[in-house]
Each structure stands twice: as C-alpha cells, then as structure tokens.
Amino acid sequence: MLKELVDNNKYIICAGISTLSLLFTSISIISVSRSVNEISKELETISAWADSQNECITKTFRIDGINTQGMPSKVWSCNGGGQ
C-alpha cells in the first residue's frame, strides 16, 4: 500500500522536495548577502580612515618645526599623539 502510494505520487514528492530545497537555498543566499552587505559597510568605514591616515602620513614632514621624517613619528602625529 505504501509502495503504491509512493509509486503513484513520486513526481509530486520529488517536486515538493525540490521546492523545499530551493526555498532553503534562497533563504541561505539572502542571509549571506545581508552578512556581506554589513561587512562591506564596516570595511568602507575602515577604508576611509586608512585613506585619511595615509594622506596625513604622506603630508607630514615636520612636528613643532623639527624635521621628523621617520615613519613612527609621522604615524604618531597623525593618530593624535603629542599635546
């Protein structure tokens, strides 16, 4: 009896399984795309900060009139170090 039920409805059963599979795949894709979107927004903020830091470091040659071309001094100055 069960075999007859499965044999008579195998296409409907397969269609139902395929539909559920597509539904779960769609939900997964939506979830992943939201996560990627959130990560890209966070990276945009970090990228803007890094650009401003690079520009500051490139343009910094003197601190208080003293020639301090060393990288640590430039980074320290651009990050708000000092007084």
Pairwise CA distance, residues 67 & 83, whole Å: 17
Question: In the predicted model, what is the mean pLDDT of residues 46-57?
Answer: 89
Q: Is 83 helix (H, G, I), strand (E, B) or coil?
A: coil
* Beta bridge pairs of residue 9: none
In this predicted structure, the answer to whether residue 62 has a pLDDT above a threshold of 80 is no
Pairwise CA distance, residues 34 & 80, whole Å: 35
Tokens of 26: 């769609």
In this predicted structure, the answer to whether residue 36 has a pLDDT above a threshold of 90 is yes
Whether 80 contacts 72, CB under 8 Å: no
Whether 46 contacts 40, CB under 8 Å: no
